[in-house]
Amino acid sequence: MDSNNTAAMDYITARLGSPEAPALAFGGDYNPEQWPEETWTEDVRLMREAGVNLVSVGIFSWSLLEPSEGAYEFGWLDRVLDLLHANGIRVDLANATASPPPWFSHKYPQSLPITADGVRHSYGSRQAFAASSPEYRRAAAALTEQIAGRYSDHPAVVMWHVHNEYGCHNQPDFSDGAAAGFRSWLERRYGSLDGLNTAWGTAFWSQRYSAWAEILPPRTSGTWVNPTQQLDFARYSSDELLECYKAEAAIIRSHSPHPVTTNFMGFNMGLHQPVDYWRWAEQMDVVSNDHYLIAEDRRNFQELAATADLTRGWAKGKPWLLMEHSTSAVNWQPRNIAKAPGELLRNSMQHVARGADGALFFQWRASRAGAEKFHSGLLPHTGTDTKVWREVVQLGQALRSLAEVSGSVVTGASGRVDVTIIHDTDARWASELDSHPSVDASNIAETRRWHDAFYRAGIPTDFRQSTDDLSGYRLVVAPMQYLLSDSGAANLDGYVRAGGHLVITYFSGIVDENDHIRLGSYPGAFSGLLGVQMEEFLPLRAGEAVRLSGFGPGTCWNELGKATTAEVLAVVDEGPAAGSPAVTRNHAGSGRAYYVATTLAPEGLSELLTVFCADAAVLPLIPELPANVEIGRRSKDGTDWTFCINHGTDDVRLPLPGAGLTGVELLSGADLNGGLSLAAGAVAVVRSRNSPLMGEPASPSTNHSIHSSH
């Protein structure tokens, strides 16, 4: 199967339903090896009761499938797959390479990863291997060959699950193997030591290298290790791990036409756990992601929304698969708050609204033993007479009612998504390097603030890289793109001059791809485009705020400087930056570029958003979206599906006209000919053709209420 996300996701949904009536995926990780075989019959019976149609099998089964080197035992897996097939349940089959068995690590201790402090990981948890280990790669390839060869024609199998959450526990590795791999990678990147010395700025602190052999991973040293060395090591570590995926995926593809994926981990891959999902996504037939709520965050649904949108970015706007989330509590946070009644449905619907063609979970049956025994499952320890099980069954029904949504794409008020946020992996990694102006200046936090503002306004947003084609977007926001390549900077510049609207926030375009300062006025890459000349960063104290003449207050940061050609929309009103621009707008070519030189509070940001959106002709899906209500839309062949999710504790009435809220509400089957009242906690998905234009008068009609199931 080619890496063609649309075709690959359609391939799966057609096999979960039929080519004429594809089905959204519903199910999760199934680990039958944790249970006596008698339990399996009950498992499949209950899967059918809930409407489960896809399970991921074998992810952590290596030690059972290959109990000793080269000796394979597939009998139990044969029986599991046959049983699932007999019950019409499809399988996302793993190649089981995520957790090498004790015999392997014991025999090949050199395969274990080493931390920056030189501590060798032991085995006894999972993912105990170094990406550069030839022993690991050989063993993983042999196992993959066996599994793909044996099961490529099994009628239950519809897709392949390579490994699991690459890099979650073993990234990066600082071993001697990684050192050798890093040197080869650097030789390919720079060609010569001179090139490397220049890129790494090794004239600073007497770091000049005179032989390749002297170069090491950025292991713990007395103080900050060379920042470009750290950045290159993150890039190398991601590439090295990707080689593992590619080798295993190639073996599978040589046996089987089914789509191949590995499950990503959303925003979690920072500098110290580096995997560059933009590059990885190019190797996926289907982009799949795991998402877990930050339990204590009372607005964690906004983080979910941002992650789902980012995943759709990796999938280049095409449908993707939610490989894991949880029915209720997880086990790995300090306080594992259980999901509230209805939260399971709301969370799953958020993912579907944002482009997922299914909702899968970790895991089918909550474990009895092991490190994750307090993690919720579809089937709780306490059985089926439970809140969780009832909500699981309800979700299965909801996903069946929404089957027609499969294959559709996320759209905004204009019929396409009008806004995108730039999120370059290099910019994030580089912004997380040490010895920067302020620990509070965070690429992720700033990105989230902007995404949240659009979310509250009911304006769908994509995520793209600075080098992508942006011409289809009316408004592009680049939050704290600290590092920008020359090509990314030129692309953003060209986008504006061709008529686009670009918002740049502080600490963007400051360094090039080697983490070298772009000299001249700040923000280096954009001073001319923005029509500002900023001269000094003035980070603020923890908790400090500055008054602004508009959109204020500002926190975290402000800057000393002046506007050259830009119109100043707000200035800093006090302190050492008093009179310096805080928010500006500049005409460049036939477009406009805006600068925001501080962190704005939600209210100020929302107010400013209305200025940008008015300039760029960006409309929300629904005007004046009530607080705590989430709205999203998917579209296909002239049909729109509008998702309305009430996360709040108040019943709301969604104002009409707007956003296609006439038609059929698919979860209840009710006809809607007018307004929609949405009870606290409730979800509605409205199918409509040819949504009414914004501003069109509402037709007098009945009003339908959607009640929360609780």
- Chain positions contacting ligand GLA, by CB under 6 A: 164-165, 290, 292, 324, 330, 362, 372, 375
**Terminal-residue alpha carbon distance, the chain:** 44
CB of 58 to ligand GLA, least distance (A): 12
Residue (of 72, 7, 65) closest to 31 by Cα position: 65
Would you mind telling me the total number of residues written for the chain in this entry?
710
CB of 307 to ligand GLA, least distance (A): 13
Of 218 and 274, CB closest to ligand GLA: 274
Relative to beta strand 567-571, strand 288-290 is unpaired
Residue (of 174, 167, 417) closest to 308 by Cα position: 417
Question: Cα–chain-centroid distance for residue 502?
Answer: 23
CB of 327 to ligand GLA, least distance (A): 11
Residue (of 682, 684, 633, 637) closest to 658 by Cα position: 633
- Given 3-state DSSP classes, what are the helix, strand and coil percentages for the chain, each rounded to the nearest 5? 35, 20, 45
The residues, ordered by sequence, that sit 6+ positions from 420 with a Cβ below 8 Å of its Cβ are: 313, 461, 462, 463, 464, 470, 473, 475, 476, 477
Place of tokens 């399971």: 344
Of 327 and 662, CB closest to ligand GLA: 327
Of 31 and 466, CB closest to ligand GLA: 31
Of 290 and 357, CB closest to ligand GLA: 290
CA 566 – CA 500 distance, rounded (Å): 16
Question: Cα–chain-centroid distance for residue 363?
Answer: 20
Active site annotation includes 324: yes
Relative to beta strand 629-636, strand 475-478 is unpaired
Of 280 and 362, CB closest to ligand GLA: 362
Burial (CB < 10 A; 0-12, 13-18, 19+), residue 38, is exposed
Three-class DSSP labels, 34-90 = HCCHHHHHHHHHHHHHHCCCEEEECCCCHHHHCCECCECCCHHHHHHHHHHHHCCCE
CB of 645 to ligand GLA, least distance (A): 23
Relative to beta strand 90-94, strand 157-161 is parallel
CB of 33 to ligand GLA, least distance (A): 14
CA 580 – CA 498 distance, rounded (Å): 29
CB of 309 to ligand GLA, least distance (A): 19
The helix (run of H) or strand (run of E) holding residue 571 is: strand 567-571
Q: DSSP for 600-623?
A: EPHHHHHHHHHHHHHHHT---SST
CA 583 – CA 414 distance, rounded (Å): 27
CB of 326 to ligand GLA, least distance (A): 6
Q: Looking at 66, 135, 165, 513, which residue is catalytic?
A: 165
CA 126 – CA 122 distance, rounded (Å): 10
CB of 292 to ligand GLA, least distance (A): 5
Q: Looking at 66, 240, 303, 324, which residue is catalytic?
A: 324
CB of 164 to ligand GLA, least distance (A): 5
CB of 166 to ligand GLA, least distance (A): 10
Active site annotation includes 248: no
Of 371 and 617, CB closest to ligand GLA: 371
Q: What separation in angstroms does the CA of 135 have from each of 118, 182, 197, 664, 706?
A: 20, 18, 33, 57, 57
Of 295 and 608, CB closest to ligand GLA: 295
CB of 290 to ligand GLA, least distance (A): 4
Of 375 and 501, CB closest to ligand GLA: 375
> How is residue 64 written in tokens?
């059972």
Of 333 and 565, CB closest to ligand GLA: 333
Strand, coil or helix: what is 347? helix
CA 255 – CA 564 distance, rounded (Å): 62
Of 268 and 709, CB closest to ligand GLA: 268
CA 481 – CA 282 distance, rounded (Å): 22
Relative to beta strand 554-555, strand 599-600 is antiparallel
Residue (of 478, 436, 514) closest to 199 by Cα position: 514
Of 167 and 217, CB closest to ligand GLA: 167
**Residue of minimal CB distance from ligand GLA?**
290
> Catalytic residue numbers?
165, 324
